[in-house]
Amino acid sequence: MPKASDVKKGTAIEFNNRVLVVKDIVRSVPQGRAGGSLYRMRLYDVVTGAKVDETFKDSDMLTLADLTRREAMLSYIDGDEYVFMDNEDYTPYNLNKEAIAEEIQFVNEETQGVHVIVIDGAPVGLDLPSSVELVVEETDPSIKGASASARSKPARLTTGLTISVPEHISTGDRIRINTVEHKFMGRAEK
């Protein structure tokens, strides 16, 4: 049983007889409190998809839910359902667009290292690699002679995500993106 301070995004916990996946954590240190930090967590109920906001003290002990992570690839999109195929046994996992709205911005049919989080046999979310490679679909023309440390400009990627890139990046470039910070990391290896 980890303390609340040890829990990371993407972790599944059991709380109030529900299995919840941690989507976001905000740490705060209240003034004048003799004690530790507070962790305000945005959680999603894996069964209903409902958002739940809870606050825990750093010393609160949380129960981890029984989950497995299966490496998978995006196979196809059917309306609001994204279908991922297990890389080992080809099991299809259907995930609703709403449940994975943030993560799907980093995923296309070529993305490697994506894991589907499965609880009690049901897919409930995605676990992304720390970085992914995507192609720039649209950005302002690159400026000749612009250095890598020059100003940045917005670029829309093939998944619809918009991030800031250096001025020397142009439409069609394949780039690496940090999935945690939503930041440009560099050009991808060819």
Cα distance between residue 96 and residue 125, in whole Å:
9
Using pLDDT thresholds of 50, 70 and 90, give the confidence band for residue 78: very high
76 or 12, which is more confident?
76
| pLDDT value, residue 29 | 83
Nearest C-alpha neighbor of 169 from the set 132, 120, 129, 134: 134
Task: Please write the tens of the pLDDT for every residue from 133-163.
Answer: 999 999 888 766 555 556 889 999 999 999 9
- What confidence tens digit (pLDDT) does each residue in 31-42 have? 766 667 888 999
Share of the chain above pLDDT 90, in %: 39
CB distance 85 to 71 below 8 Å: no
Please tell me which residue, 165 or 180, carries the higher pLDDT value. Answer: 165
Contact yes or no for 43/56 (Cβ under 8 A): no
Which pLDDT value is given to residue 32? 65
| d(C-alpha 62, C-alpha 144), whole Å | 54
At position 98, the amino acid (one-letter code) is E
Average pLDDT over residues 49-76: 88
Q: Does residue 149 or residue 120 have the better pLDDT?
A: 120
Burial of residue 12 (number of CB atoms within 10 Å: 0-12, 13-18, 19+): buried
Q: Are 124 and 99 in contact (CB under 8 A)?
A: yes
> Please, which residues have CB within 8 angstroms of residue 57's CB and are 6 or more apart in sequence?
4, 35, 36, 37, 38, 39
- pLDDT of 99 > 60? The answer is yes
Mean local confidence (pLDDT), 90-116 = 90
3-state secondary structure of 152: strand
User: Rounded to two decimals, what is the model's pTM?
Assistant: 0.69
